[in-house]
């Protein structure tokens, strides 16, 4: 007869199952949720664009840069894995970043170059990430990359009606 599971064993098994599901879903993150593709507003010209160290339109350096790896804008003194000791001080802005990645141990060890959009090119206008200031999206039908300008027009022409009920 098998041993009866204790509460601690049940909790540990549930935790392991949750962690396994989180690891499996990590590869299927939506492009809009990656910190390197987050939307930001320039401090000086107030124009919306993709997360960058500098503004695409006016070339000003941002006051509060976002870490391209984890998406942090502020480094807390106790609750982070920061490799730089700043006791009693919350580190923000340019004091938090090193080559646009925060001082966190994980972010420094896995460089921000693992961005899924590093070589993305819009299928419609054939502009790369560096040729425009907008964000990049993936077509939900053909799964090709699209820029912000061509996103809706392409998806409207790419979708296919499956029945006479006009459901896509």
Which of 49, 73, 99 is the last residue before a domain boundary? 99
Name beta bridge partners: 49: 40
Please list the helix, strand and coil fractions of the chain in percent, rounded to the nearest 5, in that order.
30, 15, 55
Assign 28 to helix, strand or coil: helix
Own/partner contacts of 81-87, CB < 8 Å, gap of 24 or more, are 81/105, 81/106, 83/108
13 lies in a domain? yes
19 lies in a domain? yes
Residues 53 and 124 in one domain: no
Q: How many CA atoms lie within 13 A of 30 on its CB side?
A: 6
- The total domain count for the chain is 2
- Are residues 139 and 153 in contact, defined by beta-carbon separation less than 8 angstroms? no
133 lies in a domain? yes
Residues 64 and 123 in one domain: no
Residues 82 and 20 in one domain: yes
pLDDT at 159: 78
Calpha distance 28→139 (Å, rounded): 15
Residues 27 and 57 in one domain: yes
Which candidate, 90, 88, 87, 109, places its Cα nearest to that of 98? Answer: 109
pLDDT at 166: 61
Residues 153 and 76 in one domain: no
109 lies in a domain? no
Residues 32 and 91 in one domain: yes
Residues 47 and 84 in one domain: yes
Residues 56 and 15 in one domain: yes
Residues 94 and 148 in one domain: no
pLDDT at 161: 67
61 lies in a domain? yes
Provide the residue-wise pLDDT of the chain in tens; the chain has 168 residues. Answer: 567 777 888 888 888 888 888 777 766 677 767 777 778 888 889 988 877 777 878 888 877 778 877 878 877 766 667 777 777 777 777 777 766 777 777 777 776 666 677 778 889 888 887 777 677 888 888 888 888 888 888 888 887 766 666 655
- Are residues 125 and 115 in contact, defined by beta-carbon separation less than 8 angstroms? no
pLDDT at 136: 84
Print the domain residue range for 45: 1-99
pLDDT at 135: 78
pLDDT at 163: 62
pLDDT at 79: 64
pLDDT at 49: 82
| Residues 105, 33, 14, 23, CA torsion sign | negative
Which of 40, 74, 99 is the last residue before a domain boundary? 99
Which of 65, 99, 133 is the last residue before a domain boundary? 99
């Amino acid at each position: 007869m098998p041993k009866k599971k204790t509460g601690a064993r049940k909790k540990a098994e549930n935790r392991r199952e949750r962690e396994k599901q989180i690891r499996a879903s990590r590869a299927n993150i939506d492009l809009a949720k990656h910190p390197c593709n987050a939307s930001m507003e320039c401090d000086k010209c107030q124009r919306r664009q993709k997360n960058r160290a500098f503004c695409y339109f006016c070339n000003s350096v941002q006051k509060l840069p976002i870490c391209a790896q984890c998406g942090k804008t502020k480094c807390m003194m106790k609750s982070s894995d920061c490799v730089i000791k700043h006791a009693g001080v919350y580190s923000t802005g340019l004091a938090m970043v090193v080559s646009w990645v925060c001082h966190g141990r994980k972010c420094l060890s896995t460089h921000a170059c693992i961005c899924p959009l590093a070589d993305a090119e819009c299928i419609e206008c054939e502009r790369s990430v560096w040729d425009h200031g907008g964000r990049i999206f993936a077509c939900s039908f053909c799964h090709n990359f699209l820029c912000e300008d061509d996103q809706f027009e392409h998806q409207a022409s790419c979708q296919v009606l499956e029945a006479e009920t006009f459901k896509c």
